[in-house]
Amino acid sequence: MATILQSAVGSEALIHLHGLTREYASRAGAVRALDHISLTIERGEWVAVMGPSGSGKSTLVNILGCLDQPTSGSVRIAGTNVHQLSRQELDRFRSETIGFIFQQFHLIPYLTALENILLAQYFHSMTDEEEARRALASVGLGDRATHLPSQLSGGEQQRVCIARALINQPPILLADEPTGNLDATNQEIVQEHLRTLHRAGHTIVMVTHDPEMALLADRIVDLHHGRIAAERRAGVTPQK
Amino acid sequence: MKRARFSLGYIVRRSLVHRRVRSLAALLALTVSAAVATTLLTLYVSLNRQLHQQFRAFGANILLTAPNGSTLPPETLATVRAIAGPESRIVPFAYAVAQTTTGAPIVVAGTDFTAARTMDSWWQVSRWPDAAATTTTVGSPVAAMVGTRAQNFLHSDDFSLTYNGRTLTLHTAATLHTGAAEDSRILISLAAFTAWTGQGASTLEVQASGSAAQVEALLHRLRAALPGVQVHAVRQLVESEGRIVDRTRSLMLSSLVLIALTVGICVLATLTASVLERRRDFAIMKALGSTQHQVALLFLLEAALLALAGAAAGYLLGSLCAFGIGAWNFHATIPPLWQAAPAVLLLNLMVALLAAGLPMRILRTMEPAMLLRGE
Amino acid sequence: MFFRLLVESLVRQRRRKLLAATAILLGTATVTAMLAIGASVGDKLNQDLSSYGANILVTPKTDTLDVVVGGVSIRPATAGSYLREGDLTKLKGIFWRNNILNLSPELPLHVTLTQAQSSQAATVPALGLWFHHTLRYGTESYPMGAPAMHRWWRLQGEWPADSALDQAAIGSALAAQMHIAPGDTVMLNGEPVRITGSVSSGDATERTLLLPLALAQKITGQPDAVRRVDVQALTKPEDALARRNPDSLSPALHDRWYCSPYANSIAYQIQEALPNAQAEPIRRITQGEGTILQRISGLMWLVALAALLAASFAVAASMTTAILERKQEIGLMRALGASQFSVASLFFAETAFLSLLSGALGYLLGSLLAARVGREIFHSTIAFNPVLLPAALGLALLVSIAGGAPSVLRTLGMQPAAVLREDG
């Protein structure tokens, strides 16, 4: 298969997962959220990860975002073996490489929309308020800069979240159910933003349970019980 | 550039203001802990002095007496005052056995009423003579303070006594009750006594404040400076005083430790919970690429700010409290103890940093993904 | 359902409960310990203060005047009237008999002391005393005597036996002056007497010969006679009532006065028990003791008050935090249709249960702490004070509810949706 071919070249692919396993200790024994996942994602590709609840979608995205460590297996992102990084290097790597879009938005409640974006700049390098304002304007929230998250609607919060994810121009964008908490109108807006980003050449890994949303992606990966059940081009019906 | 506006300090400020109730609860706890520490420290440091002051209620703890029946050299009082220091109290006494008109012997003492009044607070006197009344005008009867027992042996308020063939006319200006030997005596001013008997003071009662060791050192200096004068400590007083002061200090120290520990642990628990509660903030910042140090600094800075504010407010409050206790209980001024300020600040910082640091250690070992999920 | 919810809530989320419970426990323990110490410090210090010696002096009522200068009686000892030694037993029959710690009768006299070797003779003041006398009252017996009254006396050698008519102790200054050492035999008014010990006291006693009371009575020819009695009693510091004249008080106040262990009322009762006696508090000692007791008890009470305030605030802060942590829960219950009242009752019931439990444990811990402190500092334990239990529980309840109430009520006042949306 193509994935094996790609891994031989190594640095060609942006993301390369091999034998990825993640187990959680629980009272009932170890629960295996991911079971030997191997996956390669090309630069500029938009991949949708689908599957029922508990299939390991979020775990996969969290590991890709270095928010979680695999129990075994390797993660190579942009030619870097993630598990070889020290904590400090990992923090640095994350701020350089990854932008997050969360289902629950996860904005800092006591900072305004603008400041939430500034925060991401701050952790990355230095703050540039003009740039942050432009980012906010680009998601259509130019007039909401001084609002606190509690004063914004869900869609607006998600757009702040997108602006925040993009501010440091990370090569990889990770979106965990980006429209999961949104109504149809807002879903539309967010979809449009993602499409623009994809056209601009961003690599997007997106978890979703919405087939319509998944169709926007180049490729769909179906997870089932922590394993890849199917991989297909968008628009092709899954073969079980 | 506008980047100066957005800094760790700014984030901390926003966080503190946004979480008003929690911040206030934490500030309150830190203020209380600082106030208690300041109060107890200030009290404890001045306790020795305050307690020894209280023992002044027992009167003289050193007696200087002239050997057998002689009088002390007139400069003795000045010498003793120079050695014992201005804080000590000194009362001279002169004694003579006089005869009443019926021939009964009675002890007459000459003293300095003003000095006796300050030192012998237990004397129950019907009316203290004012300083002017103690100077005798020639010919008029001498104002006398008569012991309640001695009064039974006098036939009227105006009476006369004979000493060595010289008769003195006296007038009962006040009565004195102590429950001890003074009740059987007649007291007159030392000047009148000397004019009548030709004798000066034979005893100096000295009240020196301080520990047993300090009193002992004073005794040595007095003996060296005044050869030929018998210098004695009133052992009954000096020994008990030391023991009671020591015990009270131990008691205060135990209380101090107990209270500081309790308040410290409560504050620690409160702050720890308040920091732990923010594990999601921690995880979000990690997801945004903050380093471990940056988030740690953020949380520590916040705790340190609260600790600083709490220490300042608590120091003021505690000093005020100690002052109040001093005024109310000891009738004395307990000034603020500036040394308590750095101690309290350090204590508060330690508690706050520990409270912020402990959860940080816990959070560090957890994957941000778990924290985001709200575990 | 309410109770099920309560039980569930108490069992779950133990970490959060633990914080509040620890705070209440420690707070209650400190307050209990400080109050127990504050309440007993007076008694404990009173025992320390007893080392000041006599605080009540008993003398014959009709008397010629004492002529005493510098602690030495100048008037001949034969004059005047006496108290009866046999009457002293009656002092253990008065209302405050248990407060009478010690009695020390004295009989002053002058004797001729002759040193054995040099035959140097002098007339010296002497004092008849009890040394280790046993006072019997009913079936009980009490050890009484001068050495315990004057704890600052230092003895070299031994005290004479109370029944011995050929033993005496000597003041250290007199011993040095006459070249007499413990163990020597001297002639006392012509009779041989063995000196058992020498006493240093820092006062006039150092120039005195100390005889067993029986010997002094034999020499003066006054059997059963004593000139004065030093009484050491546990007393309560003087207050406004103590200073009143008992004869002018209303019957109710008089009873209160009579039944309070003031130095005045004990002296009054001694006077009732002993015919022809005049008993008076030695004001220097009683006033001084009163001052010290008041100041130190006052100090400890104030420190206890400070502890109470501090613990209250600390516990309230902990409760505020503990409740704030559960805001989401409140919002959720409201969203599920719970009334404000039922949510509030659940939270308050939970807080009450927690505070009573922790308060009871805190009371135990505090009492143990107080007992420990008492043992360390006063070498006598501070007993459990049951009065403090309801006080400790009440305080724990009050403070934790007061600490939790603002956050609960504020959250209840908000729209459930707003609570749920609010992050952290």
CB under 8 Å to B96, separation ≥6 — which residues? B107, B108, B110, B163, B193, B197, B199
CB under 8 Å to C210, separation ≥6 — which residues? C126, C127, C129, C146, C160, C168, C169, C170, C171, C199
Which of C:344-383 have CB within 8 Å of A?
A: none
Q: Which residues of B253-287 are buried (b: 16+ CB within 10 A; e: fewer)?
A: ebbbebbbebbbbbbbbbbbbbbbbbbbbbbbbbb
User: C424–A109: do the CB atoms touch at under 8 Å?
Assistant: yes
Round to whole Å and give the CA distance between C26 and C18: 12
User: B236: which chain C residues are within 8 Å (Cβ-Cβ)?
Assistant: 51-53, 150, 152, 202-203
CB under 8 Å to B24, separation ≥6 — which residues? none
Q: Which residues of C66-82 are buried (b: 16+ CB within 10 A; e: fewer)?
A: bbbbbeebebebeeeeb
CB C9 within 8 A of CB C346: yes
Q: What is the tens place of the pLDDT at every residue in A19-63? A: 999 888 777 778 888 889 999 999 989 999 998 888 888 888 888
CB under 8 Å to A54, separation ≥6 — which residues? none
Nearest-CA distance from A150 to chain C in Å? 7
User: Closest partner residue to C48 among B244, B250, B258, by Cβ?
Assistant: B244
Query: Rg (Cα) of chain C, in Å, rounded?
Result: 33
User: B290–A123: do the CB atoms touch at under 8 Å?
Assistant: yes
C345-364: average pLDDT: 89
Q: Kindly state the tokens that stand for C167.
A: 């033993």
Nearest-CA distance from A107 to chain C in Å? 9
Q: Is C138 on the interface with A (CB under 8 A)?
A: no
Which residue of C lies nearest to A148 if distances are taken between CA atoms?
C422
Cα–Cα distance list, C129 to C75, C102, C146, C149, C229 (Å): 19, 13, 6, 11, 10
Round to whole Å and give the CA distance between C62 and A137: 110
Which residue of C lies nearest to A153 if distances are taken between CA atoms?
C421
User: Closest partner residue to B287 among A63, A96, A100, by Cβ?
Assistant: A100
User: C418: which chain A residues are within 8 Å (Cβ-Cβ)?
Assistant: 150
Residue % of chain C over a pLDDT of 70: 92
List the single best residue of A64, A67, A96 to mutate versus B (max B Cβ within 10 A).
Answer: A67
Question: Which residue, among B264, A87, B350, B136, has the nearest Cα to C311 in the 3D structure?
Answer: B264
Neighbours of B, requiring at least 3 CB pairs below 8 Å, are: A, C
Which residue of C lies nearest to A107 if distances are taken between CA atoms?
C423
pLDDT at C250 over 80: yes
Which residue of A lies nearest to C422 if distances are taken between CA atoms?
A150
Residue % of chain C over a pLDDT of 90: 21
Query: Rg (Cα) of chain B, in Å, rounded?
Result: 34
User: C422–A150: do the CB atoms touch at under 8 Å?
Assistant: yes
Q: Is A170 on the interface with C (CB under 8 A)?
A: no
Nearest-CA distance from B290 to chain A in Å? 5
Q: What is the mean pLDDT of chain C?
A: 84
CB count within 10 Å of CB A213 equals: 21
The single-letter code of the amino acid at A191 is Q
Residue C128 pLDDT class (50, 70, 90 cuts)? very high
User: B325–C48: do the CB atoms touch at under 8 Å?
Assistant: no
Q: Is C67 on the interface with B (CB under 8 A)?
A: yes
First CA to last CA distance, chain C: 28
Which of B:262-281 have CB within 8 Å of C?
A: 262-263, 265-267, 269-270, 272-274, 277-278, 280-281
Q: Is C417 on the interface with A (CB under 8 A)?
A: no
Round to whole Å and give the CA distance between A121 and A165: 10
List the single best residue of C17, C64, C67, C154 to mutate versus B (max B Cβ within 10 A).
Answer: C67
C213-238: average pLDDT: 89
User: Closest partner residue to C318 among B107, B270, B281, by Cβ?
Assistant: B270
CB B120 within 8 A of CB B233: no
Nearest-CA distance from C26 to chain B in Å? 6
Cα–Cα distance list, B211 to B53, B84, B208, B215, C253 (Å): 11, 14, 9, 6, 42
First CA to last CA distance, chain A: 18
Mean pLDDT per block of 10 residues along chain A (240 residues) reads: 39 82 81 89 91 85 86 88 83 85 84 87 84 89 88 88 88 88 84 88 89 88 89 60
| Sign of the dihedral through C-alpha C220, C223, C229, C233 | positive
First CA to last CA distance, chain B: 40
- What's the full length of chain B, in residues? 375
Q: Is B39 on the interface with C (CB under 8 A)?
A: yes
Q: Is C221 on the interface with A (CB under 8 A)?
A: no
CB C317 within 8 A of CB B270: yes
User: B25–C64: do the CB atoms touch at under 8 Å?
Assistant: no
Q: State the DSSP string of chain A.
A: -HHHHHHHH-TTSSEEEEEEEEEEEETTEEEEEEEEEEEEE-TT-EEEEE-STTSSHHHHHHHHTTSS--SEEEEEETTEEGGGS-HHHHHHHHHHHEEEE-TT----TTS-HHHHHHHHHHHHS---HHHHHHHHHHTT-GGGTT--GGGS-HHHHHHHHHHHHHTT--SEEEEESTTTT--HHHHHHHHHHHHHHHHTT-EEEEE-S-HHHHTTSSEEEEEETTEEEEEEETTSPP--
User: A92–B18: do the CB atoms touch at under 8 Å?
Assistant: no
CB C207 within 8 A of CB C174: yes
B111: enclosing H helix or E strand:
strand B105-111
Which of C:376-395 have CB within 8 Å of B?
A: 376-378
User: C318: which chain B residues are within 8 Å (Cβ-Cβ)?
Assistant: 29, 266, 269-270, 273
Q: Which residue has the tokens 């029986």?
A: C214
Q: Is C422 on the interface with A (CB under 8 A)?
A: yes
Q: Kindly state the tokens that stand for C22.
A: 């620890």
- What's the full length of chain A, in residues? 240
Chains A–C, number of C-beta pairs less than 8 Å apart? 9
CB B235 within 8 A of CB C51: no
Residue C198 pLDDT class (50, 70, 90 cuts)? very high
Nearest-CA distance from B16 to chain C in Å? 13
User: Closest partner residue to A91 among B281, B291, B367, by Cβ?
Assistant: B291
List the single best residue of C321, C379, C407 to mutate versus B (max B Cβ within 10 A).
Answer: C321
Round to whole Å and give the CA distance between B353 and B272: 10
User: A149–C424: do the CB atoms touch at under 8 Å?
Assistant: no
Interface of A with B (CB under 8 A): 58-59, 62-63, 65, 67-69, 87-88, 91-92, 94-96, 98, 100, 102, 106-111, 115, 118-120, 122-124, 126-130, 164, 168
Chains B–C, number of C-beta pairs less than 8 Å apart? 244
User: C310–B36: do the CB atoms touch at under 8 Å?
Assistant: yes
Q: Is C423 on the interface with A (CB under 8 A)?
A: yes
CB B228 within 8 A of CB B150: no
CB under 8 Å to B92, separation ≥6 — which residues? B72, B77, B110, B111, B112, B115, B190, B201, B203, B204, B205
The whole-number pLDDT of residue A104 equals 82
Mean pLDDT per block of 10 residues along chain B (375 residues) reads: 64 83 84 89 87 86 85 89 89 91 88 90 86 59 88 85 90 90 90 90 89 88 90 84 86 86 82 78 82 83 90 94 88 88 91 84 77 64
Q: Is C424 on the interface with A (CB under 8 A)?
A: yes
Q: Which residue has the tokens 């009866």?
A: C84
DSSP C236: B
Round to whole Å and give the CA distance between A68 and A72: 12
User: B265–C26: do the CB atoms touch at under 8 Å?
Assistant: yes
The whole-number pLDDT of residue B136 equals 55
Query: Nearest 5°: CA angle at A220, between A217 and A223?
Result: 145
DSSP C153: -
Residue ranges in B148-234 assigned as alpha helix (H): 148-151, 190-197, 212-225
CB B355 within 8 A of CB B373: no
The whole-number pLDDT of residue B296 equals 83
User: C421: which chain A residues are within 8 Å (Cβ-Cβ)?
Assistant: 150
Question: Which residue, among A218, A215, A204, has the nearest Cα to A237 in the 3D structure?
Answer: A215
User: C317–B184: do the CB atoms touch at under 8 Å?
Assistant: no
Q: Is B70 on the interface with C (CB under 8 A)?
A: no
Q: Kindly state the tokens that stand for B206.
A: 């000295």
User: C64: which chain B residues are within 8 Å (Cβ-Cβ)?
Assistant: 104, 153
Nearest-CA distance from B21 to chain A in Å? 14
User: A124: which chain B residues are within 8 Å (Cβ-Cβ)?
Assistant: 289
Cα–Cα distance list, C42 to A30, A205, B250, C101 (Å): 64, 76, 15, 16
User: B178–C282: do the CB atoms touch at under 8 Å?
Assistant: yes
